[in-house]
Amino acid sequence: MKNIGSSQFKLPAEAPVMVLPNALLLPNTLLPLRIFEEHYREMLDHALGADRVFCVALLKPNVQNAASPDDFFNVACLGLIRASVREPDGTSNLILQGVARVQFTRFVQEEPFYIARIRQVKSKAANLVESEALAAKVLELCEDQPNASAMMSQKLKDTLPYLQDPDILSDVIASAYIHDPYKLQRVLDEPLVSERLRMLIKYLRKKAK
């Protein structure tokens, strides 16, 4: 998958927001979506007519609907619409690619869908040598996972050793192995690459037992 990080993609000042109860997008990963609710159909039309981007935000635990911005996390992932197919019934199937971590600074619209002012949350790699060592450990632990080949597509598994950037690697591994959206949110919230990798090491070690 082509990396379209912030060095190659100019983030807009604001973007629509889709709030989901059990799914999350991370940078440099793909998320298939089916758009069927009327307000999200409007959101999709808006996005396709502008920058082809929108944010995916996670609904907070024990909340049924996003009645206000307090009902969902304010760190999200901006996604680029890579493919969009509209069905005869008006629904659409999308492939969304994560572009960048973002934080909502304020909302300029709440109805019929949210539009937020956003700022990028940049990853921090304080010590590249340490991050590379931690990334190597993550890859090693991936091989030790029960049913590892079933958990990841062979194409992705073959690609992982060639992901030289620990930042990208941490998000790709997290998206592939962590299925709890609130654990994924903690990965998304963490700007320090080494800490994300440590979180993954702890998670993978526990899962391998």
128 pLDDT band, cuts 50/70/90, is confident
Q: How many CB atoms lie within 10 A of CB 207?
A: 14
Q: What are phi and psi of 162, to 5 degrees?
A: -95, 0
Cα–Cα distance between 62 and 154 in angstroms, integer? 36
**DSSP conformation class of 62:** T
Question: For the chain, which domains are there?
Answer: 14-120 (2.30.130.40), 128-208 (1.20.58)
* Segment 61-82 mean pLDDT: 95
* Segment 101-116 mean pLDDT: 97
Cα–Cα distance between 31 and 73 in angstroms, integer? 18
- pTM for the model stands at 0.87
Model pLDDT for residues 141-177, shown as the tens digit of each residue? 887 776 654 555 555 666 666 577 899 999 999 998 8
Model pLDDT for residues 1-25, shown as the tens digit of each residue? 444 444 467 899 999 999 999 999 9
Average model confidence (pLDDT) for the chain? Answer: 88
